[in-house]
Amino acid sequence: MNAYDQIVFFAVELLALAFLAIGVAKVSFRRLVYLLVYVGAMVLADVVRNVCLRTYGLRSTEYYLTYFVADYFVIVLKYLAVISIFEIVLEDSPLRDIARRAFFLLFAGLAVLSSGLFPHSSPNMFSEFQQNIHFAVVVLTAMLCVTLAHLRVANPQLRMVVYGFGVSAAVQACGAALQLLIARDLITEVTRRLSPLATVIMLGLWCYALLRLPSVEQVSEEAFEDRQTHQAPPLVGALMRLEARG
């Protein structure tokens, strides 16, 4: 591991631990609990992989299995985290139940496609399923950004969380696109560095969202109060605004 890899690795771990600490401390963040579970799984996976690496060595079967099994569970939890954001964004939309069923069917469909029942399926179903879920996460992230813009969600914390997902997906998609343009040996080194860098950016945006932007509940309550004020008669609305300022 060279100097760049060490810096990025420690940056990921520090930001992940900071995000977990801030998220647990802020009770208002409980609606985004799947993000905490996902980031916690990332930290735990890194710890388990490093312990296995030091115990069995880089070329051992134990490390190989541990690395990919841990990565498999992390990407599945990331899929669930993205879906949990959709649940919040579509909270007041009649499309919420339809989207929930569609996400479940998508997950089940990817599992079937990766099961080896089709001629072009990979013999390693777990590896193919992991790749398919990773691609689905990138696509769903793009859809999430479009949905956020279309519904004009005003929640700044939620928007920053989505932007974190979006930037991470964009950087990783750039790495995948470069595979068509650059020699395989070189692109392997490029993509290996882009993925942790994307995670650093994502976690940095999430920590900023927790520390500097209003929470989901705060924005929802303010929007509800504004709605009640505007719907009330003029005199009552004025009194409500004066009471809120007092």
**Quick one: pLDDT at residue 221?**
47
Residues lower than pLDDT 70 in the chain: 1, 27-30, 114-126, 176-192, 215-246
HSE-CB of 102 using CA atoms within 13 angstroms: 10
Six token digits for residue 77: 């939890």
Over its C-alpha atoms, the chain yields an Rg (Å, rounded) of: 21
CATH topology classification for 3-213: Rhopdopsin 7-helix transmembrane proteins (1.20.1070)
Interval 136-191: pLDDT, tens:
888 899 899 888 888 888 788 888 999 999 988 888 777 766 665 665 555 556 66
Three-class DSSP category at 2: coil
Six token digits for residue 113: 């496609």
Domain ranges across the chain: 3-213, 215-246
Terminal Cα-to-Cα distance of the chain (whole angstroms): 58
**Quick one: pLDDT at residue 110?**
82
